[in-house]
């Protein structure tokens, strides 16, 4: 099944602070915050939600289609997509903009401070979802505000099931708009913090919101994840990582597992287990797209952790 990924393509500038933020931020001085972190290590990586999810779906043998906007500096990313044999038919270049860029600083406790320049993402609404794309499933991941609204409306109008993944874009929307997304979506995926914010903005509990969709997935980092589906709660344990190196892109890897499981008709427990495994495989490598296992290797890891084939 072809899976449409509406979301960002971005360059991630990742810096590592060899200390702890909490030792440098004084709570009583937060109103006059002025801190600087020396970051002797820095890398520039390929990222963005749509790019990361596509990379992980490709590992699984899925059929991803990226829908995103990029800027005049996108040549290196386009060459990478070509090498990975990922279609660029829905990747639109906006000449007057930069490709979206994230500036991420991670401390020794895996806390992150991120500055994000949206750039070409602000033109995401120029891409429109149409039936002739031939997709059977989609995700609306963090992107330009108008693009996320338009793509959700298009997908609902064409009756294409989709997952709403607001991510760091959630604060852009009012409670009414968020309820509109949930009402159109087939699935919702949020992390613990986003889940609390979603409840606060909409005035509804996650359990109530779960009743509006086929499934609501809540990720909780090292504490695993929870899937609310069909009136049931399914607890998915976190898969122990070989090494905890970099959390950047773990949520996208997890969502790739979800989408692959849904597209291949798996039950929610095995889908959640696969998603958890994908997040674990990602966290042991730096950046969002530097871990690579083929489908057979992923199947072997799944069997080792869960005692059955996937």
Which residues make Cβ contacts (< 8 Å) with residue 117, sequence separation at least 6?
A: 98, 100, 101, 102, 103
Q: What is the DSSP letter of 22?
A: G
Exposure on the CB side of residue 20, measured as CA atoms within 13 A: 4
CA distance 109 to 90: 38
Residue 39 has φ and ψ, to the nearest 5°, of: -120, 90
Encoding tokens for residue 69? Answer: 């906007």
Assign residue 253 a region (left: φ > 0; alpha: ψ between -120 and 50; beta: otherwise): alpha
Residue 157 has φ and ψ, to the nearest 5°, of: -65, -35
String of DSSP letters for 210-257: HTTSSEEEEE-GGG-EEEEETTEEEEEPPPPPS-----TTHHHHHHHH
Which residues make Cβ contacts (< 8 Å) with residue 228, sequence separation at least 6?
A: 206, 207, 210, 215, 216, 217, 218, 234
Residue 177 has φ and ψ, to the nearest 5°, of: -65, -40
Q: Which residues are catalytic?
A: 252
Strand (E) or helix (H) holding 68: strand 63-70
Query: Would you tell me how many other CB atoms lie within 10 Å of the CB of residue 133?
Result: 16
Query: Would you tell me how many other CB atoms lie within 10 Å of the CB of residue 296?
Result: 9
């Amino acid at each position: 099944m072809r899976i449409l990924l509406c979301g960002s393509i971005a360059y991630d500038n990742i810096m590592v602070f060899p200390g702890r933020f909490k030792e440098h931020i004084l709570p009583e001085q937060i109103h006059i915050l002025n801190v600087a972190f020396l970051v002797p290590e820095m890398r520039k990586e390929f990222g963005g939600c749509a790019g990361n999810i596509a990379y992980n779906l490709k590992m699984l043998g899925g059929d991803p289609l990226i829908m995103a906007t990029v800027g005049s500096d996108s040549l290196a990313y386009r060459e990478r997509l070509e090498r990975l044999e990922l279609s660029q038919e829905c990747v639109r270049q906006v000449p007057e903009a930069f490709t979206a860029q994230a500036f991420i600083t991670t401390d020794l406790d895996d806390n992150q401070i991120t500055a994000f320049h949206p750039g070409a993402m602000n033109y995401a609404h120029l891409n429109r979802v149409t039936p002739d794309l031939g997709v059977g499933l989609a995700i609306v991941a963090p992107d330009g505000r108008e693009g996320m609204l338009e793509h959700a409306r298009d997908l609902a109008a064409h009756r294409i099931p989709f997952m709403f993944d607001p991510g760091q874009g959630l604060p852009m929307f009012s409670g009414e708009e968020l309820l509109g997304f949930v009402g159109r979506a087939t699935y919702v995926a949020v992390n613990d913090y986003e889940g609390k914010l979603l409840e606060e903005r909409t005035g509804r509990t996650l359990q109530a919101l779960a009743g509006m969709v086929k499934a609501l997935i809540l990720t909780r980092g090292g504490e695993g994840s929870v899937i609310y589906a069909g009136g049931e709660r399914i607890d998915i344990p976190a898969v122990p990582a070989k090494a905890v190196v970099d959390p950047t892109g773990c949520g996208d890897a997890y969502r790739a597992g979800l989408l692959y499981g849904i597209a291949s008709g798996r039950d929610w427990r095995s889908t959640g287990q696969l998603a958890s495994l994908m997040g674990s495989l990602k966290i042991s490598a730096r950046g969002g797209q530097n871990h690579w296992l083929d489908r057979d290797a992923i199947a072997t890891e799944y069997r080792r952790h869960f005692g059955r084939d996937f």
